[in-house]
Amino acid sequence: MRRAAGKPKTGRAHKVTSSQARIPAKRKHASFDDEIDSGDSGDEEAAVHAAALADEREEEADTETAQERRVRLAREMLGAMDEAARRRSGDDGDVDQVTQSLEEDALRKAGRYRVEIAASLRGQSVSHEAIRVLRGPQLSPTCVALMPDETAAFCGCKDGTIVRWDLQSGHRVVIPSGRGREEATGHTRDVLSAAVSADGRVLMTGSRDKTLLFWDLRNFKVVKELKGHRGPVNALSVSRGDHSTGQLFSGAADRCAKVWDIEQRGYLETLYGHLEGITSLDSIVANQMLSAGVDRSVRLWKVDEEVQLLFQAHSAAVDCCALLHAEAFVSGSQDGCLGYWTTKRKKPLAMRSLAHGVAPWGGACWLSALTSPCFSDLAISGSCDGHLRFWHCDEMERSLSQVMSVPLVGFINGLAMAPSGKFVACAVGQEHRLGRWFRIREARNSLCIVPLPASVHRKPDLVRRVCNATNGVDRDEEGDSNDDASED
């Protein structure tokens, strides 16, 4: 509506800031001249010029909007990083590395980014002396999770405890179970799954006691207990890609997969489809999850579209699965087979029988853990044969070939790939994570850190640094606006 003529405007009274109530520049300069009149004229001119520049900068800061500030800071940081990258590589400027990083980031977000690193591992090896063994669990560890900044690792154990290691110092902290306590402060049975939020503030664990616990990593206390499942929570997963959705996926022996909101610590929805219990989950891109189950099937869920793709080829329960990228994955079964799949075909591209050989007690070695670097052609598998194996998943040749192996004695019950690609964390125990059918007495319950060759290492992500910096500006500005609103 048009305001009536002559009617005074109404509204909130605006506060007058110190910058708006500034003394005019001319008056300040005049008083300054009076004070230094007996000094040197050259110094006087320099001082006046510096004061004028300071005033101009303050006036520009006052007139700059929040959006303009974000754009200016982002441009300055991009330019600085681009220049630093060119100096490191000795480039003449023909290739804009920041532009290339932005393109890669967009492809990762869309799930179309690919990097071929498996072939570079052929013929390489990791000595047993280079493997770092961290002791601590009393009973077999069943799962492993890494902090996003790779400073710490967590293992869930069969005695209901959770062990945290500082990866730099090796110092460990044992979070006790709630078994035998009046007020339960932890899991009362085996901890079977673990995951860490993208911001590194919350640890999520699932147990045979059918509960899902959220832990505050600042004080290692339970902040939320969720009881949505009717069976042991065998698997947890958050997105391993560059763009976290804030969603947590859980899979249990009750044949259901559930979606949770990490920030709100609440339930979102349930995914039905498996005919028997779910044993493993994985996720890389937003709104997409891979699940494996005792019903010998692997399913790819498109959560936002409410669609699931069914893949069947194994002759026994599928204990582990891992996504290579948005359109390919691997699966490991109790039949000893490692399968390589693409979402475009119902049948596997390749199936490797006896992938880990024959077990000492007879029969094929069960595949118990799988992982992979995000958006790559490399799969890493673990079993009980005393080796961590690395596989080249070749889509063109439709083949699975072993490129490297690392000696590890015991059941490899969990694998976690470092985001930087510098190492892989292995939860190694005397028993299988889901039962006590077999036992390897010479094994030691521990967390093993296996360093990886430089060809697997991922280059620093320039885009993430810029996003973190601009997000920090946004948080500061939001805090300022909230303070202003509270004062009003």
Tell me: pLDDT of 260 over 90.
yes
Tell me: pLDDT of 62 over 70.
no
What average pLDDT score do residues 137-158 get?
95
Count the residues in the chain: 488
pTM of the prediction? 0.76
Question: For the chain, how long is the longest CA-to-CA vector?
Answer: 100
Tell me: pLDDT of 273 over 70.
yes
Do 288 and 249 form a contact (C-beta atoms < 8 A)? no
Q: How far apart are CA 276 and CA 280, in angstroms?
A: 12
Confidence category of residue 68, pLDDT binned at 50, 70, 90: confident
Confidence category of residue 458, pLDDT binned at 50, 70, 90: confident
Of 34-48, 59-73, 303-317, minimum mean pLDDT range? 34-48
Which pLDDT score is estimated for 476? Answer: 42
Confidence category of residue 484, pLDDT binned at 50, 70, 90: very low
Query: For the stretch 96-135, what's the b/e string if a residue is b when 16 or more beta carbons lie within 10 angstroms of its beta carbon?
Result: ebbeebeebbeebeebebebebbebbeeeebeeeebbebe
Q: Which residue has the higher pLDDT, 271 or 113?
A: 271
Which pLDDT score is estimated for 69? Answer: 80
Tell me: pLDDT of 282 over 90.
yes
Q: How far apart are CA 264 and CA 18, in angstroms?
A: 39
Q: Which residue has the higher pLDDT, 124 or 39?
A: 124
Looking at the chain, the whole-number percentage of residues with pLDDT higher than 90 is 61
Q: Which strand (E) or helix (H) includes residue 107?
A: helix 97-110
The CA-based angle 160-164-167, given to 5 degrees, is: 155
Which pLDDT score is estimated for 15? Answer: 42
The single residue listed with the structure tokens 């100096």 is 87
Q: What is the mean pLDDT of the chain?
A: 82
Of 85-89, 404-408, 409-413, minimum mean pLDDT range? 85-89
Q: How far apart are CA 259 and CA 226, in angstroms?
A: 12
Which pLDDT score is estimated for 134? Answer: 96
Spatial CA neighbour of 221 closest among 235, 237, 201, 199: 201
Of 47-56, 124-133, 209-218, 337-346, minimum mean pLDDT range? 47-56
Which pLDDT score is estimated for 348? Answer: 96
Which pLDDT score is estimated for 259? Answer: 95
Confidence category of residue 110, pLDDT binned at 50, 70, 90: low
Which pLDDT score is estimated for 244? Answer: 67
Which pLDDT score is estimated for 123? Answer: 87
Which pLDDT score is estimated for 84? Answer: 65
Confidence category of residue 73, pLDDT binned at 50, 70, 90: confident
Which pLDDT score is estimated for 378? Answer: 96
Confidence category of residue 128, pLDDT binned at 50, 70, 90: confident
Q: How far apart are CA 35 and CA 342, in angstroms?
A: 80
Tell me: pLDDT of 202 over 80.
yes
- Kindly give, in sequence order, each residue whose CB lies less than 8 Å from that of residue 137, ignoring residues fewer than 6 positions away: 155, 157, 159, 161, 163, 429, 445, 446, 447
What average pLDDT score do residues 279-289 get?
92
Tell me: pLDDT of 17 over 90.
no
Tell me: pLDDT of 185 over 90.
no
Which pLDDT score is estimated for 160? Answer: 93
- Kindly give, in sequence order, each residue whose CB lies less than 8 Å from that of residue 27, ignoring residues fewer than 6 positions away: none
Q: How far apart are CA 354 and CA 366, in angstroms?
A: 9
Q: In what order do the strands lie in the sheet with 132-135?
A: 132-135, 446-451, 423-429, 411-417
Do 303 and 259 form a contact (C-beta atoms < 8 A)? yes
Q: How far apart are CA 296 and CA 319, in angstroms?
A: 9
Which pLDDT score is estimated for 7? Answer: 43
Which pLDDT score is estimated for 338? Answer: 98
Which pLDDT score is estimated for 179? Answer: 74
Of 12-26, 84-98, 202-216, 229-243, minimum mean pLDDT range? 12-26
Which pLDDT score is estimated for 33? Answer: 42
Do 272 and 291 form a contact (C-beta atoms < 8 A)? no
- Kindly give, in sequence order, each residue whose CB lies less than 8 Å from that of residue 84, ignoring residues fewer than 6 positions away: none
The CA-based angle 93-97-101, given to 5 degrees, is: 165
What average pLDDT score do residues 376-389 get?
96
Q: Which two tokens stand for residue 322?
A: 């891992």
Which pLDDT score is estimated for 360? Answer: 86
Q: How far apart are CA 235 and CA 250, in angstroms?
A: 6
Confidence category of residue 111, pLDDT binned at 50, 70, 90: low
Confidence category of residue 114, pLDDT binned at 50, 70, 90: confident
Confidence category of residue 71, pLDDT binned at 50, 70, 90: confident
